[in-house]
Amino acid sequence: MRVLAVQEYFGLAAKAIRFIFARPFYIGDVVQQMDSIGVESLGIVLLTGFFTGMVLALQTSVQMAQFGATMYIGRLVTASMVRELGPVLAAILVAGRVGSGIAAQIGSMRVTEQIDALNTLGVDPIKKLVVPRLVAALIMMPVLTILSDTVGIGGGNVIATAYVGIPTGLYWRTVWEQIASGGFILHYIPSDFVQGLTKPFVFGGIIAVTGCYFGINTKGGTEGVGNATTRTVVVASVMILIVDYFLTQVLLFLFG
Amino acid sequence: MTDIPPDTTGAPAPPEHEEERRALPEDDGEPRLRRAEDELRARFAEELEESEEAQERVGVSREAIVELEHISLAFDRPILEDVSLVARRGETIVIAGESGTGKSTTLKLILRLLRPDSGRVIVDGEVLNDVTYEEALVIRQKMGMVFQGAALFDSMSVFENVAFPLREHTTLSEDEIEARVREKLEFVDLEPDRVMDQLPAELSGGMKKRVGIARGMAVNPAIMLYDEPTSGLDPLTTGTITRLIMKLQRELKVTSVVVSHDIRSAFRMATKIALLAEKKIVFFGSPEDMTASQDRYVQDFLGGV
Ligand SMILES: Nc1ncnc2c1ncn2[C@@H]1O[C@H](COP(=O)(O)OP(=O)(O)O)[C@@H](O)[C@H]1O
Ligand SMILES: [Mg+2]
């Protein structure tokens, strides 16, 4: 991306964040976007979460068997899902499914002059189009991640019980041990959750802003819309992975 | 030809023109041009009559409501250079010209969707160059824009499209909004009960244009802007849309700026025509004057239709 584009990108992000708290509030649009993000992504997020949990359990069971420590499968699956794989996988999937959808929708509004029409009718497209998608993504991404984590840990349970013979009760006790081992914030909130939910929140923002940015800047008819969707998926996915690293460093420093 | 010809609305041919004409070499230029002029007059007789009526309604001494003053604008290459244009209250200005000459760009300048590199845009006394983005959102409510492809919000029904500006900018109750939407749809000759719940994708091109007009006029703006309102429509629908624009002009006294390369409908509704070519306005005056113009480009443009 060109330097100017980077500046525009963050300009859009800053403006959208500022407008979250400014009238008018398009509550209806937010609900509609939450619905569409949730409905569009729930299936794939659950499916991939489940299989990821299973494969994690399978791999760790092989490794752990060498040390006779297979009872720790639950701990490992939980740590990996909650801190890393749940947030990152869900975000990458949503970037592909929802981010591209946002870019396509706003992009086609751009090339059919609907964005100009909003401006002409005295409505700021950032307030009407970007903010509802941003808010919806900020809310739905953590929700999707919690669900992904849960079915992932559930998938681990299936493998741990079926292949390794760890009783379900023991499995879930080790899951809880893992969650508790990270310590608590304000006595009740496991710090793993804080880490595990800060990430999807940030990733949700990245997905919405990236989709809106490439959508709004679409040029050149239907072909341009195709370009906008492709770029959104690539840029959002790469950003998610890079930001994940730095965010992990910061979160580890803050919460251990 | 960078100067704008003086306002000649409703007045007899200005002395400047007479002088110019006399200054031409008598032998070859004069008779040829006269013949061309007569021919054009005959060809557009019907349209010119309608235009004359429109001009009479407007009168001569109305205040300017839309002004472009020495506008220059370049994208990757210069598009407009030193373009000036005035629309007085109640007038219908048609901006004509070949495609790619900057007609849509001119409308976007009036709407402050674009800002000129130099020169001023003045709408209803406000200099748009100086206003902020937020102020522009408010000023734009004085203008209703009909986009070339109608630009209806495709996720909303016809009703919601027309109601959109009302919900955004008025405190009308739901009943009042419905009444207003019905009124506007009826004005554009659509049956409210038949189209209100339809989505834009289900409408024909002509119907989309009409809904676009209904949405543009929903908040009763003083100025209506149309970008090629008749392009891509069959001759019959073209006639309908042209009549609709004239009805708006006649019954609601709105000022209109219409971008069109359909010179026949332009002649019917225009009080003045601005011809854009080569980044400049090469002609600005009444349809009457246009047929009388000696400019080669104007003659070619009219002859080519
Ligand atoms: N946003 C833009 N960026 C770059 N070039 C543009 C932009 N908008 C219009 N143009 C160019 O400006 C010229 C005039 O465009 P336009 O005003 O749409 O012409 P018209 O409406 O008369 O057909 C065209 O050559 C077009 O390619
Ligand atoms: Mg155009």
- The SS3 assignment for B65 reads strand
- In angstroms, the CA B292 to CA B18 distance is 11
Comparing CB atoms, the residue among A109, A112, A120 nearest residue B145 is A120
Q: Which of B71, B76, B77, B79 to mutate to test the pocket of ligand 1 (most atoms within 8 A of CB)?
A: B79
pLDDT at A170 over 70: yes
- In angstroms, the CA A218 to CA B136 distance is 23
* Residue with more model confidence, B60 or B159: B159
* CB of residue B102 inside a 6 A radius of ligand 1: yes
- The SS3 assignment for B171 reads coil
* CB of residue B104 inside a 6 A radius of ligand 1: yes
User: Distance, CA B100 to ligand 2 centroid (Å)?
Assistant: 7
Going B35 to B38 to B43 to B48, the CA torsion angle's sign is positive
Ramachandran angles phi, psi of A254, nearest 5°: -75, -45
Q: Which residues of B touch A124 (CB under 8 A)?
A: 133-134, 137
Mean pLDDT of chain A: 91
Contact call for residues A20 and A135 (beta carbons, < 8 A)? yes
- In angstroms, the CA B257 to CA B94 distance is 6
Decide if B154 and A116 are in contact by the 8 Å CB cutoff.
no
Whether cis (ω within 30° of 0) applies to the bond prior to B25 is no
Q: What is the pLDDT of residue A103?
A: 97
DSSP labels for chain A? --HHHHHHHHHHHHHHHHHTTSSPP-HHHHHHHHHHHHHHHHHHHHHHHHHHHHHHHHHHHHHHHTTT-GGGHHHHHHHHIIIIIHHHHHHHHHIIIIIHHHHHHHHHHHHTTHHHHHHHTT--HIIIIIHHHHHHHHHHHHHHHHHHHHHHHHHHHHHIIIII---HHHHHHHHHHHHHHT-EETTTEEHHHHHHHHHHHHHHHHHHHHHHHHHHT--SHHHHHHHHHHHHHHHHHHHHHHHHHHHHHHHHHHH-
The residue in chain A having the minimum alpha-carbon distance to the alpha carbon of residue B152 is A114
B70–A contact, CB cutoff 8 A? no
Determine what percent of chain B is predicted with pLDDT higher than 70: 84
pLDDT at A138 over 90: yes
Ligand nearest to the CA of B83: 1
The residue in chain B having the minimum alpha-carbon distance to the alpha carbon of residue A110 is B151
Determine what percent of chain A is predicted with pLDDT higher than 70: 99
pLDDT digits (tens, 9 = 90+) for B3-39: 444 444 444 444 444 444 444 444 454 556 566 677 7
- Compute how many other C-beta atoms are within 10 angstroms of the C-beta atom of residue A90: 31
pLDDT digits (tens, 9 = 90+) for B122-160: 999 999 998 999 899 899 999 999 999 999 999 999 999
Q: Quick one: which of A213, A203, A233, A230 has its CA closest to A125? A: A213
Tokens found for residue B116:
């000129």
Q: Quick one: which of B56, B24, B83 has its CA closest to B276? A: B83
Annotate B44-75 with b (16+ C-beta within 10 A) or e (fewer).
Answer: beebbebbeebbeebeeeeebbbbbbebebee
Question: Does this model's pTM top 0.90?
Answer: no
* CB of residue B105 inside a 6 A radius of ligand 1: yes
Between the two ends of chain A, the Cα-to-Cα distance in Å is: 34
- In angstroms, the CA A138 to CA A135 distance is 5
Ramachandran angles phi, psi of B93, nearest 5°: -100, 130
Decide if A116 and B148 are in contact by the 8 Å CB cutoff.
no
Q: Taking the mean position of all CA atoms in its chain, how far away is CA A124?
A: 27
pLDDT at A162 over 80: yes
Comparing CB atoms, the residue among B140, B149, B215 nearest residue A112 is B149
pLDDT-derived band at A68, boundaries 50, 70, 90? confident
User: Distance, CA A18 to ligand 2 centroid (Å)?
Assistant: 35
Decide if A116 and B113 are in contact by the 8 Å CB cutoff.
yes
Ramachandran angles phi, psi of B203, nearest 5°: -95, 155
What single-letter amino acid sits at B85? L
Atom of ligand 1 lying closest to residue B99 CA = 23
Q: Taking the mean position of all CA atoms in its chain, how far away is CA A109?
A: 25
- In angstroms, the CA B288 to CA B44 distance is 10
- The SS3 assignment for B293 reads coil
pLDDT at A190 over 70: yes
Instruction: Tell me how close the Cα of B170 comes to any Cα of chain A, in angstroms.
Output: 12
- In angstroms, the CA B112 to CA B129 distance is 8
Lowest-pLDDT range of A128-142, A182-196, B75-89, B263-277: A182-196
- In angstroms, the CA A239 to CA A209 distance is 12
Q: What is the pLDDT of residue A64?
A: 81
What single-letter amino acid sits at B120? R
Ligand 1, atom 9, lies closest to the CA of B105
Average pLDDT over residues B168-192: 93
Contact call for residues B249 and B269 (beta carbons, < 8 A)? yes
Q: What is the pLDDT of residue B265?
A: 85
Residues of A with CB under 8 A from a CB of B: 24, 109, 112-114, 116-117, 119-124
Atom of ligand 1 lying closest to residue B228 CA = 21
* CB of residue B75 inside a 6 A radius of ligand 1: yes
Q: What is the pLDDT of residue B34?
A: 64
Ramachandran angles phi, psi of B87, nearest 5°: -115, 125
> Beta strands B118-123 and B272-277: pairing type?
unpaired
Ramachandran angles phi, psi of A171, nearest 5°: -55, -50
Q: What is the pLDDT of residue B305?
A: 54
Ramachandran angles phi, psi of A70, nearest 5°: -60, -20
Atom of ligand 1 lying closest to residue B276 CA = 22
Q: Which of B68, B73, B75, B146 to mutate to test the pocket of ligand 1 (most atoms within 8 A of CB)?
A: B75
Atom of ligand 1 lying closest to residue B98 CA = 22
β-sheet bridge partners, residue B280:
B277
- Locus of tokens 């061309």: B36
Distances (CA, A) of B12 to A5, A10, B22, B183, B289: 56, 59, 17, 40, 10
B152–A contact, CB cutoff 8 A? yes
Tokens found for residue B81:
């250079």
> Beta strands A189-190 and B143-146: pairing type?
unpaired
User: Distance, CA B273 to ligand 2 centroid (Å)?
Assistant: 16
Kindly compute the dihedral angle of the four CA atoms of residues A87, A91, A94, A98, in this order, to the nearest 10 degrees. Answer: 130
- In angstroms, the CA B64 to CA B113 distance is 21
Ligand 1, atom 16, lies closest to the CA of B102
- In angstroms, the CA A90 to CA A49 distance is 8
- Compute how many other C-beta atoms are within 10 angstroms of the C-beta atom of residue A233: 20
